[in-house]
Chain A
Amino acid sequence: MKITFPHMGSPLIYTKLFELLGHEVIVPPKPTQKTINLGVKYSPEFACFPLKVLLGTYLEAIEMGADTIVSSGGNGPCRAGYYGEVHQRLIRNMGLDIDFIIFDELKRDYKGFINKLKKLKGQHSWFDLYKIVKTAYKMAVSTDKVKKFIEHKRPYISDKKKLNKVKLAIEDQYREIKTEQDIVRVEEYAFKILKGLDIEEKTGAEKLKIGIVGEIYVVMESGINFNLAELLNDFGVEVEMSHYISEWIQENLIPFVSHEKEIMKKAEDYIETIIGGHAKQNVGHIVDYKERGFDGIVHLKPFGCLPELVTQSILDKISDDLDLPILSLSIDEQMATANVMTRIEAFIDMIKQKKYKRSSDHERHVFGY
């Protein structure tokens, strides 16, 4: 088996998981314009945008030699649940003989789930499998910790190029991990070099924080969200995202653990029922960000995504109620970069002005400097 999987955020975790299980892994490439073009070409026009980009990713990985695609299904009333099936058919219709292993919710199809696990675990014992999955999970938690640190501190690090090199070096270290002990060591190493960088933290009115919410794939995949987190960081803004891979694993794969309930509760005033995707969580996150003193929200909605379309329709009201600026961006292959940049920059100017409104040095800040 030459396994590949969706590229969503960092491919490190899945790569590690399948490697430890002894499979050959074809690491899917980060989506670029080429991926998007490829996916759009072979997808139904009205499919949601992530389905198209993922198809593009699969086709690129297949070209690189992958013969098995591992992915998760979805749950709730959202089309993401059919992705696996649809991708499989699209790819088979193209005459490609590719194996699909799609994990649906454990409780929905217990037996099927176990069978798929058996296929992946190969010669390993169930205990080995448990240990390996745990290592991969620990690695996800660890890399997310590093990621969050960077999203908070990057705006205050003047040498961004050095930071990017450091990031690549840290990733290289994570790639070599074999055991849980290795993770501890690499994490220590990562924080040591990160904290060694020149960090000049801002305070008071000069500190700006933006929360990113939206459909999970477009939030997590920097290749198609214009590298939003870094972009905002470059404008001097701290960032936090509503989705991190380790949290996704916690919510979806680890029984009896859920941190989402609290967040969901905060959405009650605006969305009562779960309408699919992460609509309710996202609204909850917006309320949560406000409570935690954030200055603005960027909402990402892939074109054709119904749950996020619903969210978008109530954003004006939420923004009014909470006195919190929200910028909603729709993402698809038609999106012009210049247009997005203009809106993001104007949005940041706007929240800066708002924040400095009562500051004595108002004029100076109004113009962004």
Chain B
Amino acid sequence: MKDMYLGIDIGSVSINVIAIDSKNEILFKSYCRNSGEPVEIVKEVLTDLQEKVKNRYNVKGVGVTGSGRQLIGYILGADVVKNEITAHATATIYYHPDVSTIFEIGGQDSKLIIVKDRIVTDFAMNTVCAAGTGSFLDHQAQRLGVKIEEFGELALTAERDVRIAGRCTVFAESDMISKQQYGFTKAEIIKGLSEALVRNYINNIVRGKKIKPVYVFQGGVAANVGIKAAFEKEIGSEVIIPEHFNVMGAIGIAIIARNYILKNETDTNFKGFAVTRDSFNTSTFTCSGCPNMCEVIKIQANGTTIAMTGDRCGKWSNSLKSSEDLLDTTTA
């Protein structure tokens, strides 16, 4: 059996799973919407993966990234659990070693990562504003009755320019409605919207930071040729879309997991595909045992508590005889 490393990216909008071999070649790739039940989705994808690679590959390492990384990391027994900025940058630098600037626009988050000599030197991330993200585009596409897949191409057919106010989703929407009434076509409105989104990104995320080529644009929104064109127009330079643009986080964390296992010569903590048959439940509470007021997280599998974390004194995490032992029995 050959070796395989898993990378899982639990984003707020999508959940991506990647399997690579020991040479970083992609063996399996899955991109699905996060319908709000990440554990169930990951279980389904892993079942599917197991079917496909049956007995030919052995899981040697697991990495989890994304905003929901901690919980899934616990449940699967991940070897590395890391933030999506490092994960994204790792994948981009692997495929495009000469990259200087990474634009990443996902469902809810937008990021800028600045790289020098294959090392991240600066980054920025949106906090509250959603006007420059994929969800905003989805919503507008729906409102205009255009399929999101066709959104970008349509923008390229526009004949005139129209400027849409893009600082805030609410204003953008009402501005679009009034511009439609002035007689601009759907294609023109969409082009205007793409440019507004890019302007918003430049104003809110880049914020005067010095950026230079090579530019790489990734994340779910990179599928949109209209946005790519708007970026190129705004910065006056070519923008590269990597082949696996929408799963770069998962690829990056798989590479990190692989490196971790190989460098440290250790065995994986992966609980095995049997976890896909367990049912998990998590809850949190604030402990009032002392002035620390810790937020304690409790994870249950098939009704048995398998892990407690977040306590700073060990009162809760030590109350289980050993979370490791318990995990073994529940997933056997």
A residues near B (Cβ < 8 Å) are 11, 29-30, 32, 160-162, 164-165, 168, 171, 223, 230, 316, 325, 330, 334-335, 338-339, 341-343, 345-346, 349-350, 353-354, 357, 363-364, 366-369
Contact = CB atoms under 8 A, between A and B. Distances in A.
A290 B65 CA distance: 32
B170 interface: no
B313 A161 contact: yes
Interface size classification for chain B: 35 or more
Contacts of B256: 367-368
B127 interface: yes
Given A29-B291, A223-B293, A342-B83, 17 more contacts: A30-B291, A32-B293, A161-B318, A164-B312, A230-B312, A334-B128, A339-B67, A343-B123, A345-B86, A346-B86, A346-B120, A346-B123, A349-B83, A353-B119, A354-B121, A364-B263, A368-B256
Given A161-B312, A335-B127, A343-B85, A30 B293 contact: yes
Contact of B313 (A168, A341, A345, A350): A168
A367 B260 contact: yes
A191 to B, nearest CB: 21
B290 A168 contact: yes
Nearest to A346: B85
Contacts of B142: none
Nearest to A160: B312
B260 A164 contact: no
Contact of B119 (A162, A346, A357): A357
A30 B292 CA distance: 8
Chain A interface helix/strand/loop/mixed: helix
23 contacts: A161-B313, A164-B312, A164-B313, A165-B314, A325-B121, A330-B127, A334-B127, A339-B67, A339-B127, A341-B83, A342-B83, A343-B85, A343-B123, A346-B83, A349-B85, A349-B120, A350-B121, A363-B259, A367-B256, A368-B80, A368-B256, A369-B260, A369-B264
Contacts of B264: 369
Contact of A354 (B119, B125, B313): B119
B274 to A, nearest CB: 28
B257 to A, nearest CB: 9
B212 to A, nearest CB: 14
Contacts, number: 91
Interface string B208-219: 110000000000
A325 B313 contact: no
A349 B290 CA distance: 33
A184 to B, nearest CB: 24
Interface of B: 67-68, 80, 82-86, 90, 109, 117, 119-123, 125, 127-128, 208-209, 256, 259-260, 263-264, 286, 290-293, 311-314, 317-318
Nearest to B263: A364
A364 B90 CA distance: 13
A347 to B, nearest CB: 8
Nearest to A338: B67
A278 to B, nearest CB: 23
Contacts of A346: 83, 85-86, 120, 123
Contacts of B127: 330, 334-335, 339
Contacts of B85: 342-343, 346, 349
A179 B127 CA distance: 49
A215 B122 CA distance: 23
Given A338-B67, A343-B125, A354-B121, A164 B83 contact: no
Contacts of A345: 82-83, 86
A9 to B, nearest CB: 11
